[in-house]
Amino acid sequence: MTLPCQAPVSKHFIAVEWTRPDLTPSQYVFFVRGGRIHNTFQHPSFVNRVDLLDRPMKDGNVSLILRNVNSSDHGTYECRVKERERRRMIRGFIKSEPINVIRLTVTDSDLIAGSINKADGGIKDGHVGLAVGLSALSLLLVAFGAGGFVMYKKRTMGHSYTVPAEQADETVM
């Protein structure tokens, strides 16, 4: 699952932080500074499940990939970036308004269908449409096949010829 976030196109941002307001304030979902991922204060539920879509952050793309989505991932996610300053950042937490806020809703039907809860990180965004399309096509083919079979049976039953009872008596004599 990709949580989109687009920072202003600037070669001067030095840190990216993804947080959830409902987590402990001293913990974050994901934090990268100076091109290095820092997981010291990362919330344990996100360890080895999150990464940037584009690590070099070209063109300001700081979208987050969330793998193995589960019901506890339901919530609000905030994306922040820090531009280069002379003052050093303390503990790496960015104190600014988020540039993007995303409300993620995870339903039981998502988990049962397995559309996002796969061991390999879930169905990738581009493949969800393909999976749905192929499923619909399969159902359509089965429906046409069943309809064709019913029509075939009706035709063969309608074309069978039975000799009327009066004619049957005449031919026997």
Domain residue ranges of the chain, discontinuous segments joined by + = 2-120, 126-160
How far is Cα 151 from Cα 173, in angstroms, rounded to an integer? 39
pLDDT digits (tens, 9 = 90+) for 23-65: 877 789 999 888 888 888 899 999 999 998 888 777 888 899 9
Tell me, what's the pLDDT at 138? 66
The pTM of the full predicted model, rounded to 2 decimals, is 0.55
What would the CATH number be for the domain defined by 2-120? 2.60.40.10
Tell me, what's the pLDDT at 126? 44
Q: Which residue has the higher pLDDT, 75 or 145?
A: 75
